[in-house]
Amino acid sequence: MRKSIIVTGASSGIGKATVIKLVESGYQVFGLARRYDSLTSIYSDLASSIENKENQYVAMQCDITKPERFDDIIKDISSKAQGNTIYGLVNNAGYVEPGAIEDITIQDIRKQFEINFFGLVELTKKVLPFMMLDNSQGRIVNISSVSGLISLPLIGAYSASKYALEALTDALRMELWNTNIKVITINPGFVNTNINTVSKPKLDNLIEKRSSRFSKTYRKYMYNVPKGLPSDSVADIILNAISSPKPKTRYIIGSTALKLGVRMKKFVPDRIFFSQVAKRIH
Ligand SMILES: NC(=O)c1ccc[n+]([C@@H]2O[C@H](COP(=O)([O-])OP(=O)(O)OC[C@H]3O[C@@H](n4cnc5c(N)ncnc54)[C@H](OP(=O)(O)O)[C@@H]3O)[C@@H](O)[C@H]2O)c1
């Protein structure tokens, strides 16, 4: 029997690559996102050797900021899930609200949290009882970011949402310690996805409509973000976290220099770290 896994933010980038990897590795996957056309286009990306594709991958429209629909969606999933239980939840939906704190509105910051944090928490709370049925094995994989470990300027709202996710994930991991459900954090660095395309009109707006003192800096750093790793390489690690009997609690994904930088940051005095980063934006 195939184990059933829910992946949010499945319509592009890391989520889409994860859906394909999981289905092709023998899992039944429920892919959630707002863009249904993009979700269904995944059928044509699945290996032709997969039989009965509509059963192995189920596309489901879901806006993570509309929790009033979660009960219906989860009921639908559990009725279609093999064995009517849910083995895994990959909380991946997210976006970057770009801009210095002085440039973005409180509504922008709330929206960042609605999608990257509150939506994820509400969905997890709804899925958890199904995962806990008969105390079977389970995996909750939360896609954080290196920005959940180091806060950087001009993406403060995004970092704050990922720091909140880190705190919640750590608490949940300890609360589920005596169950068979393992909670895993993924911290990617730069990954080549649509994330910057989604942010670009927001940046254009900050530069054109508001006379920000950071306009030059936005152009310098945020229009030229390094392309980063392919989504596939993150999906490989998510697959490993899902299928390994003893997954790590955290996977930091990126170059050796990035991993080392993250690990070493706690040894750098605050004043040195903050002044060096601040120098680059002023
Ligand atoms: N790319 C990077 O460099 C990077 C680095 C570290 C962490 N991450 C994290 O990786 C995760 C995936 O991002 P990505 O890079 O793959 O970006 P992406 O290609 O833009 O994908 C984002 C996904 O989130 C979904 N989403 C956004 N808002 C949603 C909403 N309201 N309801 C439901 N789904 C929503 C989008 O689907 P719809 O638009 O169809 O709803 C899309 O499938 C995010 O949590 C991000 O913070 C990315």
Mind spelling out the 3-state secondary structure of 161-207?
HHHHHHHHHHHHHHHCCCCCEEEEEEEECCEECCHHHHHHHHHHHHH
Place 135 in a pLDDT band, splitting at 50, 70 and 90: confident
Find the catalytic residue in 27, 57, 87, 158. 158
Q: Is the minimum distance from the CB of 31 to ligand 1 under 6 angstroms?
A: no
Place 224 in a pLDDT band, splitting at 50, 70 and 90: confident
Q: Which residue's CA is minimally distant from atom 45 of ligand 1? A: 94
For residue 273, the model assigns a pLDDT of: 96
> Is 36 considered catalytic here?
no
Sheet containing 181-188: which strands, arranged edge to edge? 57-61, 28-33, 4-8, 88-91, 138-143, 181-188, 250-253
> Mind listing the pLDDT tens digit for each residue in 229-251?
999 999 999 999 999 999 999 99
Query: Cα(6) to centroid of ligand 1, in Å?
Result: 15
Cα separations in angstroms, 219 against 100, 138, 142, 203, 280? 13, 44, 31, 9, 13
What is the rounded average pLDDT of the residues 178-191?
97
Place 81 in a pLDDT band, splitting at 50, 70 and 90: very high
Query: Which ligand 1 atom minimizes the distance to the CA of 190?
Result: 3
Q: Is the minimum distance from the CB of 194 to ligand 1 under 6 angstroms?
A: yes
What is the rounded average pLDDT of the residues 42-64?
96
Q: What percentage of the chain carries pLDDT values higher than 70?
A: 100
For residue 46, the model assigns a pLDDT of: 96
Q: Please, what are the domains in the chain?
A: 4-281 (3.40.50.720)
| Element containing residue 54 per DSSP (H, E) | helix 53-56
| Prediction pTM value | 0.97
